[in-house]
Amino acid sequence: MKRLDYKLIEALDSVVRFGGFERAAEKLCITQSAVSQRIKQLEQMMAKPLLVRSQPPGLTEAGQQVMSLYRRVVILEQDLLDSIHHQDSGRFSPVTLAVNADSVATWLLPALAPLLKQEKIELHLLVNDEARALENMRRGEATAAISLQSQPLPGCQADYLGEMRYLCVCSADFAQRYFPKGVNREALLKAPALTFGPLDDMHRDFLQQHFNLPNSSAPCHVVPSSEAFVKMAKAGLAYCMVCEVQIKDALEEGQLINLLPHLWDTRSLYWHHWVLETGRLKALSDRVIKKGRELLYRPY
């Protein structure tokens, strides 16, 4: 079997990264026909289809494996060249992370800020539910991921970061309006709640576990934004499950109240990354693990 031609893989990466052949051709400064020919040549070399020609384009399982390797090689190559020449090339290395919205809204960006100032890293965030972020890494779309799963992918390792604790909160006037006699099944059937999206099962599971309420039995707004969650709760529009670290000040200032102080939910977060990391990737992982363990709750 012939060795991989990274010029051909670059075309595949560009089509997927930029969402089509036209934009890939613009980025590579070649024609769309040349992009198509490179991908066809790569698929012939691999004897397997690599690109799902949909809108937007995607990757087959084999394509995901090729892309996962390629994106790591690009970063490792840049680190090697900088090290050999003992100087900064000035080029930014693209790094894609699959992360959950609550980590982005709270601890992750402050943790990465010093590194992003020091290293030439072009950060791409794929914001996904933490229960599903590992799929982005498995498909070759991300170099590392924050996930609930403790079992790493082949060739990877999973480092425990800590716990995100979620409280059930609302504004004082919302509580007075919907829960004047306390939180019970009857009141919960009438009070509007918030959920992040159709794949977010935290609110549903919380109600089912503690109040035996079946799915979709209570009104629920769908708002895919951690920041909007807090704003809507403060405005008295709904109650919701929010990570404690995000609303610490709001609770202390009385803008929000903890509806159920004796009940909460937790999510264990793990940092998934490749075992063989050097340079920028290793620095990024070291930073995430160190700051995650400092800022997240750790019961032991």
- Tens of pLDDT, residue by residue over 12-32, are 989 988 889 999 999 899 999
The CATH 3.40.190.10 portion of the chain extends over 164-266
| pLDDT recorded at residue 241 | 92
Contact yes or no for 52/16 (Cβ under 8 A): no
Question: CATH number of the domain at 1-90, out of 1.10.1060.10, 1.20.120.330, 1.10.10.10, 3.10.20.30?
Answer: 1.10.10.10
Between 101 and 218, residue with greater pLDDT: 101
In the chain, the amino acid numbered 243 is C
- Residue ranges, comma separated, of all CATH 1.10.10.10 domains in the chain are 1-90
Amino acid residing at 119: E
| The predicted structure's pLDDT at residue 90 | 65
How many of the other CB atoms lie within 10 Å of CB of 236?
16
Report the alpha-carbon distance of residue 245 to residue 267 in Å, rounded. 13
Q: How confident is the model at residue 94 (pLDDT cuts 50, 70, 90)?
A: confident
- Would you call 237 helix, strand, or coil by DSSP? coil
Looking at residue 61, its pLDDT comes to 84
- CB-based contacts of 26: which residues, under 8 Å, 6+ apart? none
Question: What digits encode the pLDDT tens for the residues 111-150?
Answer: 999 999 988 888 989 888 777 788 888 877 888 999 999 9
Neighbours of 69 (CB within 10 A): 15
Q: Are 269 and 103 in contact (CB under 8 A)?
A: yes
Spell out the alpha helix ranges (H) of 86-184: 101-105, 108-118, 133-138, 172-178
pTM metric for this prediction: 0.76
Identify whether the C-beta of residue 213 lies closer than 8 Å to the C-beta of residue 186.
Answer: no
Instruction: Say how far apart CA 198 and CA 215 lie, in whole Å.
Output: 12
Residue 173 buriedness (CB in 10 A; 0-12 / 13-18 / 19+): exposed
Residue 97 pLDDT > 60: yes
pLDDT mean over 77-106: 77
Alpha helix ranges (H) inside 119-225:
133-138, 172-178, 185-188, 202-211
Determine the pLDDT at residue 158.
95
Q: Provide the pLDDT for residue 261.
A: 93
Q: Is the pLDDT of residue 59 over 70?
A: yes
According to CATH, the superfamily of the domain at 164-266 is Periplasmic binding protein-like II (3.40.190.10)
pLDDT score for 161:
95
Contact 228, 108 (CB under 8 A): no
200 token code pair? 């977010």
- Asked whether the predicted pLDDT for residue 76 surpasses 90, the reply is no
pLDDT digits (tens, 9 = 90+) for 204-217: 888 888 888 877 67
